[in-house]
Each structure stands twice: as structure tokens, then as C-alpha cells.
Chain A
Amino acid sequence: MSGERPGPDVRVPRPSVARAPEAPPAGEPPPAPTNRNDDRFDVRLRARARFGTVFAVLCFLATLIGVLVLAALLVDIFRDGFHRLTPAFLNGMPSRFVERAGIKPALVGSAWVMVLTAIVSFPLGVGTAIWLEEYAPNNRFTRIVQTNIANLAGVPSIVYGILGLTLFVRGFALGRSILAAAFTLSLLILPVVIIASQEAIKAVPNSIRLGAYALGATRWEAIRYQVFPLALPGIMTGTILALSRAIGEAAPVIMVGALGFISFVPTRPLDGFTVIPFQIFSWVSRPQVAFQELAAAASIVLLALLLTMNAAAIWLRNRYTRKF
């Protein structure tokens, strides 16, 4: 590595311990205290400390870039859209007329889609994770399943949209409905939910399982009463983060037929719908500046929704972790 610095030479004789310290000549400051083995080490304390500082600064700069970009985004959309963010906007229908245009159907549509996606993806994802971690034998089939889940997490969302169109909209004849979108988004986030849940289950120490088995617990009881409660905060954090990705998606819901213009508020799972990201997209594609402002206002609503969900994730996690 460093050419100038030879490795410690073990043959260097240690200075004699018995040597009496020489009295410092009068008038000169006494020498700094030294360890008698110091000549065998090149300690370089100051250089090592400096390296630590440099590293910390680099990490801080990396953080700063993310924070600055986010701040720029926030400033931009707030400057454009904040004045459009009125009760009438939140409560109104889309319209050709900027003054009357509102986001209510998209907001309700996003809420519907999110709740249904959560209901579908949570049991499927957690069930899969529990099977893979607690029940599955370590054989070729399990490994294939595991590898495929990891791969599916990387499939572009538009591809899930095509799948949803074929399978749910046409195959199951659900039409261009909230339900079809929810199923599609469930598939999209399922790999993430599964992997996050698996990690949470893996983090439960094996001694807890053995402790339960040793008391005469069945596998179901060990999982239900000991493993699952411990893994739940991690599972919920992962699921909610995955859900917040789903509600920001536009591409797959466009594929399954979200409406570009909607004149009603959806009330049932089989109703037609739109979601906030698609509403933003349709406003942004209009030439008038005022619609750009509406898009910015809708972005603020979407961000607020995401922030609320992430806050809920943190709250749930703390609530369950604090117990013990």
C-alpha cells in the first residue's frame, strides 16, 4: 500500500527500560511524554482523525443533495400551486374552466384504490413471506420462487399495467374499474411487500421460536403469538412504503383505463375512476398556465397524502415497538 511506510519491524530492539531519563538541559521545555514502544508504531493520529472528518463531510454532502432537490421541488410546486389549494378545489369536479376545476373524484379514486390495494396486498404478501420463511423446505422450487419474487420487484410498472388490462379488465371482466386498478397495483407492490415482510420475519431471533416450541407450541402458535407480533412493525413499515409507491403510480392505472376526464365521484369498487397522478398528468399536458397551477396544487395534495401515510407507518411502528 504505502511505499514509504515499512511495516512494523518486529526485530527492532526495544529501548532498555532501565535507562535513566536524562535530565533536560536547563532552559529547554521538557520533552512530551512518550510510550517506550512508540518507535514500533506509526500512529498518525492526526491523519486518521482528518480522514474521519473528510468522510463525514462527504456523507453530509450526499445528504444535502437529496434535501436540496426535494426543497427545490417543494418550493416550485408551492409557489405555483398553493394559491389554487382552496376548499373548492378539493371539493370540486374536473372542469374545462380553471376556476371551477377540482380534484375530488381523483382524491376519492386514489383513496379507494389505496385501501383496496392494501386489503389485497397485505394478506397475500405477508402470507407468502410467512410461508417462505417459516414453512417452505429449502429446495429448488422455493429457490425459484424466491428468485422470481426478487426479479418481479424490478419489472417496470407499465408492464404490470398491461398484465392488469389483460387479466383483470378483460379476463375477469372487471372493466375499467377501481377494483381492476387495485388488483393491478397489488401485483405491482406484492414483491416489495413480500421481501420487506421476509426481512422482518428473518430479523426475529431463532431463540424465540425455539423457546415457543420448547413449551409445546405448534408451528402455527409459535408464528402467531411470538414471531408475527415481533415482525409486525417491520412488515407494516414495508407495506406502507410500498403502498405509497402505488398511490404515486400513473402508468399502470392508465393502462387499466383510468379516466382522463371524470364527471362523477366513484362510490363502488366497480365504478370507473381516476387517480391523482393521472389527474396531474392530464392537467400538465394542457397548454394553459392556469392548468399547470392546478397540477401543482394536485401535487401538493398527493405529497400531503404520502406524508400522512409515512407518518402513519412511523406511528404504527413506534406504537408496536415501544410496547417492549
Chain B
Amino acid sequence: MSAIHVPAGPIELESRALSVYYGGTPAVRDVSIQIPDRKVVAFIGPSGCGKSTLLRCFNRMNDLVPGARVTGEAIFQGQNLYGTGVDPVDVRRRIGMVFQKPNPFPKSIYDNVAFGPRINGYRDDLDQLVEHSLRQAALWDEVKDRLDDSALALSGGQQQRLCIARALAVAPEVLLMDEPASALDPIATQKIEELIYELKQNYTVVIVTHNMQQAARVSDLTAFLYLGSVVEYGPTQTLFTNPREERTEAYITGRFG
């Protein structure tokens, strides 16, 4: 039996024979993986295994890396994101992203959230959308009285939740998170994890993490990547308690990585 799991239920995102090259060497090799709708999927693996690169294929952020080349397909709701006529700008609106280090714009809290809706021509009440997005990111109560203050005055954890609110404000269907808590302290990390758990009611979440406990806590499915390939992919519970592959077991028990 293959160590690559085929999840049940509707598939939101899928990669087919996806490879990414930086220069000559592949960072991601021939990865085929299916991500179900409204679940949390974690990518784990040692540094340099290609998990962030794979993540960035799903909203075409690799397009912005000079020299990066992608082959194969990344399919979102049945459409190849790398097909002809697909505008990466539109892809990124529908598939949001949160980065490793909080990167709020040096503007007010309000303007951080309002930027995406503004450029994308949001037609309804912007104030309401900002409030709703901040509530979804569990930040509203902490900032509602100082929406005009600089976002840079917030703590690291608050900044990261602001970045999540900002991503949610353009109403994406998928949220990609690249080690969203690795720059945060344990309490801020816990808040982000609780938030991820909430978010899967409405969004498909793909999270890259170095922290295996975090993957075990927040995800429904986990993929273990090594040297650019998916070694094993399956329900998180199974992968952590009863891995099929020796390398997976070695990694999750801390024997390498």
C-alpha cells in the first residue's frame, strides 16, 4: 500500500507531478498530493526539504523568485493554476498566504486590513469587513479602540493575527501558512493554533511547520517531506502514532532533522 494517502471528500487543492527548480537542482521533485476542502493539512520535514517551496506553488509566489521554474500541475478547484490564461494576481486573491515573520504594512491597523479589499474593488461596507476580518482573526477586542494606530505598535503575536485578518479580508478560499508561529512566543503560538482550528470551519488551511507538536495539535492530515519528495502523507493521528515509512518514524522520533 502506498504511503501517499488519498483523502476522502471533495478535493480543494492538488498537485500533480509538481517539481520546482531553483537553477538546476530541484527543490521539489515530482510531488502529487491532494488537499481536501476545509481541512488543515500540515507539511513537516527537516530544513530545506522543500515544504515551503511546495506551499508557495499553490499561490504562485514562486513566480516572484528569480530563476525558479515550476513543472507539473497545481490544481485548485479543478483548474490548473499554472495553465495558460491564469492570472497569478487572481490566484493570490483566492488563495491567501501568511508568512513566517509577521509583515504588517507600516500603516494603521485599519489600513492593513482594508488594503486588499480596496485594491480588489470591494463594494460593500469596508468598516464592517475590517471588523469582521479582525474578529475572525481573534484580534478585534484588542484593537477595536485603536484602529488608527500603527500596526507596528502591536506585539509580534498581534501582528501575525493582523496578517491573518488581512489575508481573510479578501475572502480567500484557502489559507497557506508558512511557519506562522515560528517567530512567536508560546502564548502567541497557542493563540494562532486555536485560530487555525477555528478557521477550518470556513477555509482550507495548509500549514508548513518545523514544530511536530504543532502539526499534531492543529492538523487533520500531515505530509512528511524529505529531499523534495513526499515520503508519507496521511491522517495526522496515524502518521504520528503508526508511520508506515521508516524515515517518517525516524524524523518524528527526533532521530534526524
Is the CB of B200 closer than 8 A to any CB of chain A?
no
Interface of A is mostly: helix
- Tell me the complex Cα distance, A138–B66, Å: 9
- B residues apposed to A, CB below 8 Å: 59, 61, 64, 66, 89-90, 92-94, 96-97, 99, 101, 103-108, 115-116, 119-120, 150-152, 163, 166-167, 169-170
B150 x A324 contact (CB < 8 A)? yes
- 16 new A-B contacts, CB < 8 A, other than A205-B103, A214-B167, A225-B119, are A207-B103, A214-B59, A214-B96, A215-B93, A216-B89, A216-B90, A216-B92, A216-B116, A216-B119, A217-B115, A218-B89, A218-B119, A221-B119, A226-B105, A230-B106, A324-B107
B163: chain A residues within 8 A (beta carbon): 211
Of B106, B107, B116, B151, which contacts A215 at CB under 8 A?
A: B116
B92 x A214 contact (CB < 8 A)? yes
B96: chain A residues within 8 A (beta carbon): 214-215
A210 x B105 contact (CB < 8 A)? no
Is the CB of A208 closer than 8 A to any CB of chain B?
yes
Nearest neighbor of B166 in chain A, beta-carbon distance: A215
Give the interface residue-count category, chain A: 20 to 34
Is the CB of A212 closer than 8 A to any CB of chain B?
yes
Is the CB of A213 closer than 8 A to any CB of chain B?
yes
- Tell me the complex Cα distance, A218–B119, Å: 9
- Tell me the complex Cα distance, A230–B61, Å: 22
A207 x B101 contact (CB < 8 A)? yes
How would residues 235 to 275 of chain A score, 1 for a CB under 8 Å from any chain B CB and 0 otherwise? 00000000000000000000000000000000000000000
Q: In the complex where A138-B66, A225-B115, A324-B106 touch, is A213 in contact with B101 (Cβ < 8 A)?
A: no
B92: chain A residues within 8 A (beta carbon): 213-216
Of A138, A208, A216, A218, which contacts B105 at CB under 8 A?
A: A208
B64: chain A residues within 8 A (beta carbon): 209-210, 213
A211: chain B residues within 8 A (beta carbon): 99, 103-105, 163, 166
How would residues 16 to 35 of chain A score, 1 for a CB under 8 Å from any chain B CB and 0 otherwise? 00000000000000000000
How would residues 189 to 213 of chain A score, 1 for a CB under 8 Å from any chain B CB and 0 otherwise? 0000000000000000101111111
Q: List 9 A-B residue pairs with CB atoms under 8 Å apart, sorted by A's residue number.
A: A210-B61, A210-B99, A213-B89, A214-B92, A216-B89, A216-B90, A216-B119, A226-B115, A324-B151
- Tell me the complex Cα distance, A207–B61, Å: 12
In angstroms, how far is the closest chain A Cβ from the Cβ of B99? Answer: 7
- Tell me the complex Cα distance, A214–B99, Å: 9
In angstroms, how far is the closest chain B Cβ from the Cβ of A7? Answer: 35
- Tell me the complex Cα distance, A230–B108, Å: 13
- Tell me the complex Cα distance, A213–B166, Å: 12
Nearest neighbor of A211 in chain B, beta-carbon distance: B103
- Tell me the complex Cα distance, A210–B169, Å: 17
In angstroms, how far is the closest chain B Cβ from the Cβ of A68? Answer: 40
B101 x A215 contact (CB < 8 A)? no
Nearest neighbor of A225 in chain B, beta-carbon distance: B115
- Tell me the complex Cα distance, A134–B106, Å: 19
B166: chain A residues within 8 A (beta carbon): 211, 215
- Tell me the complex Cα distance, A39–B101, Å: 45
B93 x A216 contact (CB < 8 A)? yes
In angstroms, how far is the closest chain A Cβ from the Cβ of B187? Answer: 24
In angstroms, how far is the closest chain A Cβ from the Cβ of B120? Answer: 6
In angstroms, how far is the closest chain B Cβ from the Cβ of A249? Answer: 36
B103: chain A residues within 8 A (beta carbon): 205, 207-208, 210-211
- Tell me the complex Cα distance, A221–B59, Å: 18
